[in-house]
Chains A and B, each alone.
Chain A
Amino acid sequence: MRNDIELDAIIEDYLQGKLTPAEAEAFDKLRANDPVIDHKVVAHKVFMDAIKQYGKVLSLKEQMDKAHAGIDVASLSEKLSPHPSFIINMWRKNKSAMAIAASFILLTIFSIYSIQHNTLQNGTYEVMRREITNIKNSQNKLVRTINSSSKNEKGHVRAAQFGGTGFALTANGYLCTNYHVVRDADSVYVQNNKGDSFKVKVVYRDPQYDIAILKITDDSFTPLSSIPYKLKKNSIGMGENVYTLGYPKDDAVLGEGYISSKTGHVGDTTQYQVSIPINPGNSGGPLLDNYGNIIGVITAKENQVDGATFAIKSKYILEALNAIPQDSLGKKVVFAKKNPLQGLNRTKQIDKIENYVYMIKVYN
C-alpha cells in the first residue's frame, strides 16, 4: 500500500516532468524492465489526459453558459424561427430560387422586347397606284371631251378606277409599268401627255418583281420616234441623284431625289430605296439618273418612314422583256448605244422624255 502510493506519486511526477534527469533515467529503465509499471504509466497518462480535458471542457461550458445568459434567446428565436405564414416561410426558404425565376422572367421580357424592336423596317408596304375619285374623274372626263371632241374616240362612259404611270420601252408601243397597277384590270388604257388615249393589252405579267409589259393595240397609235433613254443594266451607287416623272394627277409631275439604299423593303435586293416624294399614281413611273438612263421603276413607298420610296431595279425590266417571245415584240428591242439625253440639262431631258411617259388608266 505504501509502495503503491509512492509509485503513484513517482509516476505522476514522471509524467509531469518533475523528476530530475537522473531519476527520470532510472525510472525509464524500471519501465522498460517491468511491464506492469509501464502499463500503469500508460494508463495513468490516458487518465490524466481525460481528466484534464474534462476539466477544460467543464470550464469552457461554464464560460459559454455565462455568455449564453447574456443573449436574449427568446426574442432572437422569435425573430429567426419559421414564420407562421406559409407565404413568408416560402419566401425565406426559396429566396434564391425565386431570384433566379425573377431574373429569368426579366431576361425573357427583355429578349421579347428587343426582338420586337429590332432595326428592320417594319412599316407596311404601300403600292402607289391611284384610286381615282369620282370628282377627279368627272373633271378628267370634262377635259377629255373638250380635248378630244374632234377626234374619233370611242369615249369611255365609265370612269377609270385606278391610275398609274408607264413608260415606253420600244417605239412600236411596248410599255412598262407595275404589275399591281394592272393587276385586276378588265381593260387598260394609256394616255400620253397630249391627252390622247390608247387601248393597250397586257402582254406580260411578273408578280414576283411587280412588273407588267403592255402593248398599245389601238389603231390610232402611230409609232413613236426612237426612244431617247436607255436602260441601265448594272446597278447604281448610293447617293446618285435621280428623278421620276409620273401621273399622280392628270398632268405629269416631276419628283426628284437620290438613291438612299441599295436594297428595298426589308432588305429586298431587287429594289432600291429612293428618297423621293411620290404619291398614288406614281407607280410604274420611270426612275432616271442624271444622264437619262432608266435605272428603275417606282413601285411603292414605306408608309411609316419618311422619304422611303422603293423602285424595282432596271435589270428586272430587261429580264421581263427577255421573257417575251422575240417575234411577238416584232423588232428586237434595242436601246440606243449612246444615250441621246446625256449632257442635256434636266429641263431638256424632261422635254424629251415626257412624250414617252404615259398615264395608265385601269377599268374593272
Chain B
Amino acid sequence: MSNKLSDSVPTDREVVLGILNNSEDALNKLYIGYFPMILQFIVNNNGDEDDAKDVYQEAIIILYNKIKSGDFELSSKLKTYIYSVCRRIWLKKLAQQSKKTNNVSDFEDIVSVEVDVEYHEEKDLQFEKMGSALQNLGEPCKTIIQDFYINNLSMQDICEKFGYTNTDNAKTQKYKCLQRLKKLFFQS
C-alpha cells in the first residue's frame, strides 16, 4: 500500500504530553509521522509539495495551539484530526483559487473541524498583520522589539547589544519603536 505511514509515528498520548511539556522531540516525531499522509492527499488533489508543506504546517499549528490552550480532548485520533484540518484548509484554498473542488480523493476518515479552522484563520490574520507591521517597522526597531518581547531579553542586554549609553536611552528607543509598531499593527 502506497499510503503506509512510516513506523516512527508516536502515539497520540505521547504527542499531547510532549507538546504540553514543550518537547521538541515529540513535535518532530509528530511532524515527520503524518506528513506523508498529507502529502499524498495534496498531490492527489491538484496540489504540489509546497502546498502540502504550507497546509500541513498550518494544521500542526492549529493542533499545537489547541493542545496548549488546555481544552483539547481526544475525540478522534490525532491522525484523523490532522487529516480533517488539512482537508478543510486545502479545500478552502482550492475554492479561493476557484479550482474545482468536487471529486476530492480521500484517503482517511474525516471529523468536523470547521470551528477550529475558522478560529485559526482569525489568529492567522493577526499573525500576518504582525508580520507585515514588523516588516514595515524597519531596523533597528524590529530587532529591539523582537529581542524584548519575543526572545525575552532584558533591557540591560538590549542596551549592550545595540551600544546605548544607558538603559534609559534604550527604554526611550524601545518606547518609540513600540508606539510606531502599535500604530502599524492596529491601523493595518
Contacts and interface: CB of A to CB of B under 8 A. Distances in A.
Given A54-B150, A67-B31, A76 B123 contact: no
Interface string A59-97: 011011011101101101101111000000000110000
Contacts of A92: 2
Given A43-B182, A79-B2, A54 B127 contact: yes
Given A43-B182, A93-B105, A80 B36 contact: yes
Contact of A54 (B3, B53, B130): B130
B44 A47 contact: no
Nearest to B146: A55
A92 B1 CA distance: 9
A145 B182 CA distance: 138
Chain B contact residues (Cβ within 8 angstroms of A): what range? 35 or more
Given A43-B186, A50-B126, A55-B150, A80 B171 contact: no
A53 B62 CA distance: 12
Interface in B22-43: 24, 27-28, 31-32, 35-36, 39-40, 43
B85 interface: no
Interface string A1-44: 00011001100000000000000000000000000000000011
B141 to A, nearest CB: 13
A347 to B, nearest CB: 81
B78 to A, nearest CB: 16
A76 B38 CA distance: 11
Nearest to A73: B49
Interface string A211-253: 0000000000000000000000000000000000000000000
B28 A63 contact: yes
Nearest to A49: B126
A77 B38 CA distance: 10
B31 A68 contact: yes
A344 interface: no
A58 interface: yes
Contacts of A44: 182
A183 interface: no
B178 A8 contact: yes
A57 B127 contact: yes
B75 to A, nearest CB: 23
Nearest to A83: B2
B34 to A, nearest CB: 11
A74 B32 CA distance: 14
Nearest to A54: B130
A58 B150 contact: yes
B149 interface: yes
Contacts of A60: 27, 60-61, 64
A240 to B, nearest CB: 66
Given A60-B64, A73-B49, A80-B39, A48 B149 contact: yes
A58 B127 CA distance: 9
A52 interface: yes
A51 interface: yes
A51 B151 CA distance: 11
A50 B128 CA distance: 10
B61 A80 contact: no
Contact of A51 (B24, B28, B145): B145
Interface string B108-147: 0000000000000001001101110010000000000110
Contacts of A74: 49
B165 interface: no
Contact of A80 (B44, B131, B178): B44
Interface string B1-28: 0110000000000000000000010011
B53 A5 contact: no
Interface in A96-110: none
A211 B131 CA distance: 106
B43 A80 contact: yes
A44 B178 CA distance: 10
Contacts of B61: 57, 60-61
B162 interface: no
B188 to A, nearest CB: 12
Contact of B24 (A48, A50, A63): A63
A58 B131 CA distance: 10
Contacts of A61: 57, 61
B167 to A, nearest CB: 11
Contacts of A50: 126, 129-130, 185
A47 B28 CA distance: 30
A55 B61 CA distance: 13
A360 B24 CA distance: 105
A9 B127 contact: no
8 contacts: A51-B130, A52-B149, A53-B123, A55-B149, A55-B150, A64-B31, A67-B31, A80-B43
In the A-B complex, list the 8 residue pairs whose CB atoms are closest, starting with the nearest. Answer: A55-B150, A80-B40, A81-B43, A67-B31, A54-B130, A67-B28, A5-B175, A51-B149
Given A47-B182, A50-B130, 12 more contacts: A8-B178, A47-B186, A51-B130, A53-B127, A54-B150, A60-B60, A61-B61, A67-B28, A68-B31, A68-B57, A77-B49, A80-B40
